[in-house]
Chains A and B, each alone.
Chain A
Amino acid sequence: MSLFSLLGAVEIGLIFSLVALGVYISFRLLRFPDLTVDGSFPLGGAVCAILISTGTNPWLATLAATAAGAVAGLVTGWLNVKLKIMDLLASILMMIALYSINLRVMGGPNVPLINDPTLFTLLQPPGLDDYWARPLILLVVVIAAKLLLDWFFATERGLAIRSTGSNARMARAQGINTGAMVLLGMAISNALVGLAGALFAQTQGGSDISMGIGTIVIGLAAVIVGESILPSRRIVYATLAVIVGAIVYRFFIAAALNSDFIGLKAQDLNLVTALLVTVALVIPQLKRKLASRKA
């Protein structure tokens, strides 16, 4: 693998580590199987791309994309908490709705960002190649997000969200409005995904309606890979684990797609992802079986 494709893998891995952090919040902390991300990722990209291409400041556009993601998460949470629709189904409804919404936002299937300014062109340090600058800028964003989440989930409010996912009945008995905590958690989760979508659009030269397909599986893959590399229930380690998981996962994908002798092409990406997640899900079961046979 060339240095160029290695840095490319790190770059995309860092973007998807934001998705992975969001998926970690919904799936692990809230225990809310949330497929909204397949819609909120391209929503972030769409909002950001359309705003930048119509002359909005990239900072503002990225912020708006993050907020749009949060609103998408809020609606999914609301469908579940207030309208009592099953969590998985609520998120699928939102995902489908977002497909149409994203087409509306973009006014078509895609919005290119060719010569427009992006966060990355604004922050580009002089004398540094852009394929170095992009991963570095993303690294700063990801570390900031991680530290912010670590801090938040150690606060009273953050602990209330964690207890809601762990034992909702107990949380209510302690005076926690668990419905409100689900809404808040889902908003934070999808805000991160919206932000990731915005950054993705700005590094990939535009937003496309199909860029969201399989986002949830990639996010889950990163969470699962991260948890098997660094198993810990402490938030500080768990957030680090999913970031590492996202980068490692992306690295493997790049390696697989770049190895000519395997014969895989870019369109095989989702198949490889599905296989990888299947393997990652089966390994713990096999380990348990082996352990019980020894005992």
Chain B
Amino acid sequence: MLSAQDLFITFNPGTPIETRALRGMSLEIPAGQFVTVIGSNGAGKSTFLNAISGDLGVDTGRIAIDGLDVTRRPVWERAERVARVFQDPMAGTCEDLTIEENMALAQQRGTRRGLRGAVKQAERAMFRERLATLGLGLENRLTDRIGLLSGGQRQAVSLLMAALQPSRILLLDEHTAALDPRTADFVLQLTARIVAENQLTTMMVTHSMRQALDVGQRTVMLHQGQVVLDVSGEERQRMDVPDLLQMFEKVRGEKLADDALLLG
């Protein structure tokens, strides 16, 4: 369960390049809900996500995850509650480490790291089992460096890693944007499956209106650092991409100039 209240973030305040990225952003996500977040470039999607993960500190406002106020806590102290997949496939894994070492890192997310062996025999079998579900043959490559894998393969492993430990919220940051269309589709299907299987509370940022409506149960649109549209249930089921676009224009009272939203 996530609760973000009245978040403000301003980059470079008081300078000519001042950017007001979040301007009173508020969002509540109940446990088990899968929310997609959409918006044009500069709408504040990534800033919002980084504020929740702790990569960015907020100027004012309050962030609570499952009732615990984490507003002033660093990333690593939130990790017990927050799982994350990055946009850049290189960012979510350690390329110098093997597949099993990367998975072991994720297996220990939110636990105390002591002097026990990092990769345990029993866990190795479980890793192999999980990797086999991807159908990519990675279950036989546990001791390969993860840097040898393709972007799509690394993103798929990142998703598995995010689900190894329980989390109160899973953050997906345009995690299919850097992949080719076929691989992106595969990773999206995998996302839907893993989220459903583990009943994960999820927030997925995306550039694509199509994706935003196809997966999850609720769609939120951001503009200028605020929520401008929030649809779910039947209303959302009846919607198609042109409707979404129209609603956006109506809400903002202006023509949308960003083709990226349409083309994505």
Contacts and interface: CB of A to CB of B under 8 A. Distances in A.
Given A154-B118, A171-B105, A176 B113 contact: yes
Interface string B110-147: 11011111110000000000000000000000000100
Given A162-B96, A166-B94, A166-B96, A174 B114 contact: no
B186 interface: no
Given A167-B93, A171-B105, A173-B53, A178 B76 contact: yes
B95 A166 contact: yes
B97 A160 contact: no
A167 B95 contact: yes
A175 interface: yes
A159 B119 CA distance: 9
Given A156-B108, A172-B76, A163 B94 contact: yes
Nearest to A160: B113
A172 B79 contact: yes
A169 B173 CA distance: 14
Interface in A161-209: 162-163, 165-167, 169-178
A157 B79 contact: no
B97 A166 contact: yes
B188 to A, nearest CB: 21
B117 A174 contact: no
B91 interface: yes
B44 interface: no
Contacts, number: 89
A174 B96 contact: no
Contact of B117 (A155, A173, A176): A155
A170 B118 contact: no
A233 interface: yes
Contacts of A157: 113-115
B218 interface: no
B79 A174 contact: yes
Interface string B138-160: 00000001000000000000000
Interface string A211-230: 00000000000000000000
B38 interface: no
Contacts of B105: 159-160, 163, 170-171, 174, 176
B75 A170 contact: no
Contacts of B96: 162, 165-166, 233
B93 A170 contact: yes
A177 B115 contact: no
B204 interface: no
Nearest to A181: B113
Contact of A156 (B86, B91, B114): B114
Given A174-B106, A174-B109, A169 B114 contact: no
Interface string B62-98: 0000000000001111011010101000011111110
A158 interface: yes
Contact of B114 (A155, A171, A175, A233): A155
A156 B116 contact: yes
Interface in A107-158: 152, 154-158
B212 interface: no
Nearest to A31: B96
B200 interface: no
A148 B86 CA distance: 35
B80 A233 contact: no
Contacts of B101: 159, 162
Contacts of A172: 74-76, 79
Given A165-B96, A173-B82, 7 more contacts: A154-B117, A155-B114, A157-B113, A162-B97, A163-B97, A166-B97, A167-B93
13 contacts: A154-B118, A154-B119, A156-B118, A159-B97, A163-B105, A166-B96, A169-B86, A170-B105, A173-B84, A174-B79, A174-B106, A174-B109, A176-B76
Interface of A: 152, 154-160, 162-163, 165-167, 169-178, 233
Closest 10 CB pairs of A and B: A175-B79, A156-B113, A166-B94, A159-B118, A172-B75, A166-B96, A167-B94, A174-B109, A155-B115, A156-B118
Interface of B: 53, 55, 74-77, 79-80, 82, 84, 86, 91-97, 101, 104-106, 108-111, 113-119, 145
